[in-house]
Structure 1
């Protein structure tokens, strides 16, 4: 296992720059964009009909936390892509990460003869059989947000989402740049789930490789925001000598930020950070209570998945599928203002469809 992780680390370093830019890997999505032709003028956007008429294909998105605010922009991405491409979708699954409920929803989509299915593969084995069943029935299946382990036998056609181990490893490198020694808490909502466990593994590996005298404490927080906050508060009350508190999921990250503010931990030299852009997390970064969060771009995890499905269906399976890396971006106090000053579907803070004006240069 140690050798495998070393191999992952070596591979990851070469991919870092490409990941930060959210590179689209393979030909599937590139071909889809070529089919779209590029929205180069307002006339094209308003008037053109680039595709022949087709059935209004339906893609079923199975999700592991259907009501979690993280997936609000994902659903907007799905809606926007479906409107653009003349498709329909269903959002279903489990509200509390119940794999059995997810498998039931996947089987229901197969029975209903969905045209395509998308599912976060949060369990290493549970989805293998149902996904193969869908493929045997002629239904393409795509993983989004969480993928099967490397080297597994899962037959999904492509993965659209962040390189989870690498993102955790980079977070670990950021942690060791902030903390020299002492106790560091790593909070995870549901240990073992493949959408977040690889991040925890990557962060732990980076901290250990640094050689610093950091004592890693791993704490499971639970699947709901209130439960996560309670567990984080309890941990701090029992470990007030902690030097850093970091989380690998959205709800736990918000909880860390809340505890950092409540006890004014930055003033005591404690550092904190995590993942995703829940509004409270973003505000508390601005206020100086959290060092960073990592944006994994949930909007495109919905949008690109629909595009991949459409391209596959429109081409009779000749085009794609291809893995799409949705990228990694550290958001800090110095870069957080645009997230606070705009309200868009792209970050899940507005229902309004809009083109957002951009000013200034582009930062990689």
Structure 2
């Protein structure tokens, strides 16, 4: 992968701005020169399944769901959300959605190979599938129509550049789910632009274990001066590990939640790479509505990037209010 890879984002901003004040009314599509109702949804009720690899308790997914639910309410959609962190189980959830006769499927592709048969089964039934959050390198060749998310490798490169600017010497990149393609890509991107990076695999389903593993690593190697985590809860845990180990290491992370706002404000976490999960959930659902009702496909065959951007002390105040509302 190269840092110069470009993704199509044309239309995403216009789409979000244009539908911000829409409401849902149900009923038949209007047959007038007003197109799709001038921003007011009047299309028949549809059912969309959203199936993710969410690990229970990870607040990141609350933002995904809030975005998806917002779009579903506007678009007169019945949203059926389900999740399982184990890829074979996630694939079974996709098959269950197919068997129930949903009109569209939005899913994550953290482990694409395990999802191929399920995606092919949906396509064989004529059910449109879009992907978001994970699987940016696999969605297109799997026949998925659209992808919404950040490029993990490019985001990692940006984090590595930032580490260089801050004068870091030795970094550990903490992966909470080994084999997850997007998480692995993020750390690979960090290492590409900041070679003095070592991956540390932890069990993301067991937070006390995460804390003890990071603590032990810092005690074993005092030269580590920066920790990069791949999710907000893990950043907060890493900050505690720094205290446990009596280390001077700084913490940066990918992704945000409301609790991270205070950590950035007090300096226990330096920055977060934001991929805008609310927007991912919103666009995944809204894109299916557009496809079902007007045959639209967003992105021109390229991924629609929702990140990365950095959140730090310089702009945390602007994000804080949205975080309190559960959308950032």
**TM-score normalized with structure 1 length:** 0.77
Match of 1:171 among 141, 146, 159: 159
- The residue aligned with 1:281 is 260
Shift of 1:236: 1.6
Q: Which residue of 2 aligns with 1:132?
A: 120
Q: What's the offset of the Cα at 1:147?
A: 1.6
CA contact (8 A) 2:173 2:228 kept: yes
User: Structure 1 CA distance, aligned partners of 2:241 and 2:82?
Assistant: 33
- How many Å separate the matches in 2 of 1:78 and 1:152? 22
Q: Does the 8 A contact of 1:248 with 1:275 survive in 2? A: yes
1:221 aligns with 2:202: yes
Q: Deviations over 1:182-218 (max 9, x none)?
A: x32111111221231111111111113xxxxx3x321
User: Which of 173, 182, 186 matches 1:199?
Assistant: 186
What CA distance in whole angstroms lies between the structure 1 residues aligned with 2:161 and 2:121? 41
Matched, 1:258 2:258: no
1:320 pairs with 2:320: no
> Cα gap change, 1:118/1:66 in structure 2, threshold over 3 Å: closer, same or farther?
farther
Distance 1:79 1:66, change over 3 A: farther
Is 1:184 the equivalent of 2:171?
A: yes
* Residue of structure 2 in register with 1:74 after alignment: 64
Query: What are the Cα deviations for residues 259-278 of structure 1, in whole angstroms up to 9, with x where unaligned?
Result: 2355564xx3x332011113
TM-score, normalization: structure 2? 0.85
Evaluate the alpha carbon distance shift between residue 52 and residue 46 of structure 1 in structure 2; reply closer, same or farther with a 3 A threshold.
closer
1:149 counterpart SS class: coil
Q: Give the C-alpha shift of residue 53 in structure 1.
A: 4.3
How far does residue 111 in structure 1 lie from its aligned partner after superposition? 0.8
Query: Structure 2 CA distance, aligned partners of 1:112 and 1:46?
Result: 24
Unaligned runs of 5+ in 2: 26-35
Partner of residue 211, structure 1: none
- Measured against aligned partners, the alpha-carbon deviations of 1:239-290 in whole angstroms (never above 9, x if no partner) come to 223221111233322222232355564xx3x332011113333212211122
- Offset at 1:39? 5.7
Deviation at 1:154, TM superposition (A): 1.4
| 31, 46, 50: which one aligns with 1:57 | 46
Aligned 8 A contact 1:264 1:289 in 2: no
Match of 2:144 in 1: 156
Cα–Cα, structure 1 residues 108 and 319, in superposed 2: closer, same or farther, change >3 Å? Answer: same
- What is the count of residue pairs matched by the alignment? 311
Q: Does 1:290 align with 2:269?
A: yes
- Contact 1:188–1:249 (8 Å) recurs in 2: no
Q: 2:310 aligns with which of 324, 327, 330?
A: 330
Q: Which moved more, 1:226-235 or 1:255-264?
A: 255-264
RMSD: 2.8
In the alignment, structure 1 residue 90 sits paired with structure 2 residue 80 = yes
Match of 1:145 among 121, 129, 133: 133
The 2-side partners of 1:175 and 1:258 are apart by 21
**Aligned-residue offset at 1:302:** 0.7
Change (3 A) 1:282 1:226: farther
- Unaligned residue ranges in structure 1 (runs of 5+): 209-213, 348-364
Does the CA-based 8 Å contact 2:41-2:76 persist in structure 1?
Answer: no
